[in-house]
Chains A and B, each alone.
Chain A
């Protein structure tokens, strides 16, 4: 019987105040083992204070081919960005 341990994606918070960042993946039989493996593999040099692991199959990802209708519509809505608005130079702290 060839049993393949499932693939887990690993996210690490390098220090408090930062969000978790994807660092790679690994194989583990269960989530607990995945956490321990992630600790041993991805934080050998003090790289983290918190780890998330999630089964790769449980991630639903957007399709890059849909990029034009998912993301491009946002690119011409410049009124969402602060630089769109002109404010006199005399106004401070804005």
Chain B
């Protein structure tokens, strides 16, 4: 066996051997911090992400769609829970994480700050937003941190139904009336660019990327994943008979992929800063749910305490 000179060497050796770091293993403080930031941001995104789709649960147009949407949004709650649970293994508890969300200290994916205005948005979100999320998430199943990788395996397994149900909604709309087709195109127009922004800033402007790659938290760069997403999605749009709202979109034979227009990064940063169309509503909804749940959490804790006292009394009696 090779002698390791320090804890850090041993840590890097595990990373280089493509093995996993587990909660109680030594890890650099920066690795821990990066993971907490990324996993909690991911968890918050799942929870806040319930809201734009949750909007349409009570208005879903058929029983089949209502059940599918309800199950899907519930899955997002589950995913949030898996991820909070993974994050807690790093020595931070959920209530601290929620505080960070509620006080605006922690971020979540900006895509959820856009409004869901029509039913077609349920299709577009499933197809594009979940599609982009899967692209980001599949490599995370091989992330170097064990609990995160395992949570992502569960998430990805469940996520595949989300994208399919979204695309199916779009398919039905595109085969429907003229009004429905217009609705589908309008949703694509509104969700296309924000979906591309989901992969984060261009590689040149990405601050956290280099170390994350070294530590195998991240496996591919933002731009690589974005390119893959575009290449995958353009033919899907063509099949639907919809037009991607980008006049610069063109197949590039040499790179065997699509060239596409410039993303409006000013808009991206505005939304990140909190000035998107729904930032306030989303955060307010989360804070309100949490605050209104306080008495419930307190009461359940009080009841559990009383029961424990009762059972220890009956044991001593």
Contact check, B297 vs A5: say whether CB atoms are below 8 A apart. yes
A44 to B73, CA, bound (A): 13
Given contacts A24-B151, A25-B85, contact A4 B300 (CB under 8 A): no
Chain B residues within 8 Å of A24, by CB: 81-82, 85-86, 150-151, 154
Is A20 in contact with chain B by the CB < 8 A criterion? no
Chain A residues whose C-beta falls within 8 Å of the C-beta of B86 in the assembled complex: 24
Q: Is B81 touching A44 in the complex (CB atoms < 8 A)?
A: no
- Check: A64 CB closer than 8 A to any chain B CB: yes
Contact with A along B144-164 (1 / 0, CB 8 A): 000000110010001000000
* Docked CA distance A64–B22 (Å): 9
Per the CB 8 Å criterion, the residue count for chain A at the interface is 21
Task: Report yes or no: A29 in contact with B303, Cβ–Cβ below 8 A.
Answer: yes
User: Is the pair B22, A2 in contact by a Cβ cutoff of 8 Å?
Assistant: no
**B275, CB-defined interface residue at 8 Å:** no
- State the A residues within 8 Å of B (CB): 1-5, 7, 23-27, 29-30, 33, 41, 44-45, 61, 63-65
Q: What 16 additional pairs, Cβ within 8 angstroms, besides A4-B94, A4-B301, A27-B94?
A: A1-B298, A3-B297, A4-B93, A5-B297, A24-B81, A24-B82, A24-B86, A24-B151, A24-B154, A25-B85, A26-B85, A29-B303, A30-B300, A33-B304, A44-B75, A64-B26
Interface, chain B (partner A; CB < 8 A): 22, 24-26, 74-75, 78, 81-82, 85-86, 88, 93-95, 150-151, 154, 158, 297-298, 300-304, 307
